[in-house]
Structure 1
């Protein structure tokens, strides 16, 4: 008879290959190559393979190794398109760009390796339910660390694969990180070693019943939203939108002889001719500072909206050398003497600020980088036609807890979110699809529509149920004319608690589960005093 530990440590190369394949499947589940669609069942299958590899009793070193392989593959396969920005547009040598992507993935994967090493030490082997919760908790802590430490880089969190699945019903309560916790716990519950085939069958049936129940909950949630809409106080009337997608090539966007004059001509013409209540141009649609523009250019656009029945929101950099620069959105409307302004709060490392000790790295790339000033966390929305319109710029919509801060004061809570993006840095890659799913998850969490105005895609309108209602093809120069229905009323449970405490309830809950697991394991291994 082979001892459990010996059996578990057999074929380490095969198990490493399994971890590698499962990590690749996790990356593909976020946006399947070709279709760009998320596959919730593939994400659940991939996390179940990882759970099988690290289920007790596995030594902590092996758990860390398999977790590191899985996470490095998953993360590198998720944001591999960073290579495009560094090599194609930044001019960094291809080998160095590859190494940079792998280094970032490996660094972030260390959170998961450490979390799984902790799991191997704490998991109570005789309590399958608590073991599953402990696995979900260490996974949650790793996701939270990746999303918050060193300013955070949560792109590709596991919960985004479930934006169309049964677990989407949980978004309004626990958010994307809570969904990741549930998938990890269910995965471990379904693969734990059992004594009999009957026990294994019960575990699988329990997991499937849980998913089926959540699917029913998701259907009932949509019905409840529609019922509330018909019985609650009247919602603000819908407004028409014109979303401008300039499709300015990234390698020309900041070139004074090509991309700059093209952007200035096209956006000026589109802003003045678009027929809609609200006209929206994407991040840095105007690629120059106001003082660098020809006299009268910006003033002419402003006058057009101050004297008409329309409003506009426009992405443009602001500031000067003395006060510093901001990545901003300005807005104009009739009767508003002072332009609306939103300054980006959550800046992109290396893109909008240079972390300490890394200036040497950014100097190797031919990309217009700089240190921008940060805007405030919860800035006021723009009020227009009964709507409270809340901008966010580029990857700010990854940080749901920061968008939730805008629900702290009900009278200023958004009725519509608007994302201003330019991810042309990453070419025609899955980054476009992944970012669309991220915005859809925010719509699910807050039950507010999310409008996306981008340079190259995905320019779209997402309703309060996370469904894409309007979209134009990527990499085209066009105007999307659409309608959006804003949503008012009480915040979702997620918006309520995240507005007050951020992500601390998730940190605290996961920590309490691990303390309980540690105490249970300690009690089980304590020598008996009897006899």
Structure 2
């Protein structure tokens, strides 16, 4: 299995950067999902024979290629909305991307430590280490659960695995397919035809089986539709928190809702009411007066008050139901530097980015109840929260509908909002439930239980989306188990490839 592709270190480094960047093309708006296994194959081409001490750097280059191409949208919020000069914004973006790439670096280092110089063990371990690295990235320091390879298969053939194994299970098989392709290629060159054919067949089975599995109805949808309307206000981020424009924003949303007060569920996006609930009594009362008897309006709104859990007054980024419904939900998964500032005693005041409006939120408590809307349990997720697969699946268990609100105006005309929409689609597919998505400037959409968009409106327009949705009963297998079966399989493979089980040669 000795190849000479790593003889030129510059060629190897460039290939790893390209392999990482190719993964960005698997996601929205490109949807080139088939590049996932290609990326894994290229990575193995360079790293399978590398000395273990070089794998940390190789993993970092892969991560750098991925995040520099797929997550550089953070620059828009830092530069355009964070009152930060262009040079400092570039430095912060580079630090952000380089820091995220360390997760890949650590995963590859661990891969080399476990497999040592055995190419066979490295091939077997590759998908396991990849998934464990993804899981760690989504958990450590509040996590960054973004750009998982499996997410691309909302539009790919492996999407049928999502309700069974979740996004990490899909990722596992994408990477395993790349490893199998490498093994088939190597065995073919060594004239080992029968093992190569067997490996190829095994690798392709899920690709042919998953589309059929996707047709299975894991949940039961109601026969009676729920009428729905959501308002995309397209409020410029520059005036979002300006008190002089507060009235204009509320009037805009009220005007857009004028013809829809009788809908079963009406949705306004994240912080559509940009003042705390304790100061918004007149606005809330006016909404209650306008709503139909069987109508519920759900809106994003900051919450301020005393928290027994925190034992102090605090702000929450929240969403509340008004009218023929009830409940308020406080966001649990906060965005670092956007909604809270780590080490704020040191960072506050250094640059404008660390003093963004409403960057002093506290996380809400665990195990919050769904909102009630016309007798329907609606589980809300605010912005970034929808990116956490196990968090969404666990909280969806006692709900008939899922709902997410966001203000992606922070990221302008970048890849971020489109990736965010695709992530919401994966959550709908994993849970077998409709996902209602309301945003300030797009993408506002209705997503069905198969992860398909049934209705949407364009970005950067003030518009209203209407449609019908259906509640769901029951749970998908993934909702019952979460990612633990896939993570357990990864750990079993680590035990299995010990040197005394599979020797070096």
Q: Quote the Cα distance in structure 2 between the aligned partners of 1:386 and 1:100.
A: 46
- Does the C-alpha gap of structure 1 residues 462 and 82 become closer, same or farther in structure 2, counting only changes over 3 Å? same
Q: Quote the Cα distance in structure 1 between the aligned partners of 2:174 and 2:258.
A: 48
Normalized against structure 1, the TM-score is what? 0.86
Contact 1:345 1:377 in 2 (8 A): yes
Q: Quote the Cα distance in structure 2 between the aligned partners of 1:349 and 1:292.
A: 26
Q: Quote the Cα distance in structure 2 between the aligned partners of 1:509 and 1:481.
A: 43
- In structure 1, the residue matched to 2:476 is 492
Could you tell me how far 1:159 is from its partner in structure 2? 1.5
- In structure 2, the residue matched to 1:70 is 62
Aligned match for 1:298, one of 266, 269, 284: 284
The residue matched to 1:332 in structure 2 has which SS?
strand
Gaps of 5+ in 2: 307-311
Q: Quote the Cα distance in structure 2 between the aligned partners of 1:451 and 1:316.
A: 18
Q: Quote the Cα distance in structure 1 between the aligned partners of 2:348 and 2:35.
A: 36
Could you tell me how far 1:94 is from its partner in structure 2? 1.5
- In structure 1, the residue matched to 2:125 is 134
- In structure 2, the residue matched to 1:471 is 456
- In structure 2, the residue matched to 1:529 is none
Gaps of 5+ in 1: 527-531
- In structure 1, the residue matched to 2:105 is 113
Could you tell me how far 1:511 is from its partner in structure 2? 2.5
Alignment of 1:170-181 (within 5 A): 170-181=161-172
- In structure 2, the residue matched to 1:437 is 422
- Does the C-alpha gap of structure 1 residues 457 and 50 become closer, same or farther in structure 2, counting only changes over 3 Å? same
1:255-304 deviation line (CA, Å, top 9, x unaligned): 2233x2321111122344314211000000011123444x6222111233
Alignment of 1:357-368 (within 5 A): 359-360=346-347, 363-365=350-352, 367-368=356-357
Residue 153 (1) aligns with residue 144 (2):
yes
Could you tell me how far 1:525 is from its partner in structure 2? 5.5
Aligned match for 1:348, one of 311, 328, 335: 335
Normalized against structure 2, the TM-score is what? 0.91
Could you tell me how far 1:384 is from its partner in structure 2? 3.3
Contact 2:31 2:155 in 1 (8 A): yes
Contact 1:54 1:116 in 2 (8 A): no
- Does the C-alpha gap of structure 1 residues 42 and 9 become closer, same or farther in structure 2, counting only changes over 3 Å? closer
Aligned match for 1:144, one of 132, 135, 143: 135
The residue matched to 1:470 in structure 2 has which SS?
strand
- In structure 1, the residue matched to 2:45 is 52
Contact 1:119 1:135 in 2 (8 A): yes
Aligned match for 1:512, one of 470, 492, 499: 492
Could you tell me how far 1:145 is from its partner in structure 2? 1.0
- In structure 1, the residue matched to 2:155 is 164
1:422-470 deviation line (CA, Å, top 9, x unaligned): 0100001111110111011101111111110000111000100010000
Alignment of 1:450-465 (within 5 A): 450-465=435-450
- Does the C-alpha gap of structure 1 residues 196 and 296 become closer, same or farther in structure 2, counting only changes over 3 Å? closer
Alignment of 1:74-473 (within 5 A): 74-123=66-115, 128=120, 131-192=122-183, 194=186, 196-197=188-189, 209-210=201-202, 212-225=204-217, 235=222, 237-258=224-245, 260-274=246-260, 275-293=262-280, 296-305=282-291, 308-320=293-305, 323-334=313-324, 339-356=326-343, 359-360=346-347, 363-365=350-352, 367-385=356-374, 387-407=376-396, 413-473=398-458
Contact 1:387 1:416 in 2 (8 A): yes
Q: CA RMSD in A?
A: 2.6
Could you tell me how far 1:320 is from its partner in structure 2? 4.0
Contact 1:168 1:218 in 2 (8 A): yes
Contact 1:111 1:142 in 2 (8 A): yes
Higher deviation after alignment, 163-172 or 102-111: 102-111
Q: Quote the Cα distance in structure 1 between the aligned partners of 2:33 and 2:95.
A: 28
Could you tell me how far 1:518 is from its partner in structure 2? 2.3
Contact 2:319 2:329 in 1 (8 A): yes
Could you tell me how far 1:223 is from its partner in structure 2? 3.2
The residue matched to 1:213 in structure 2 has which SS?
helix
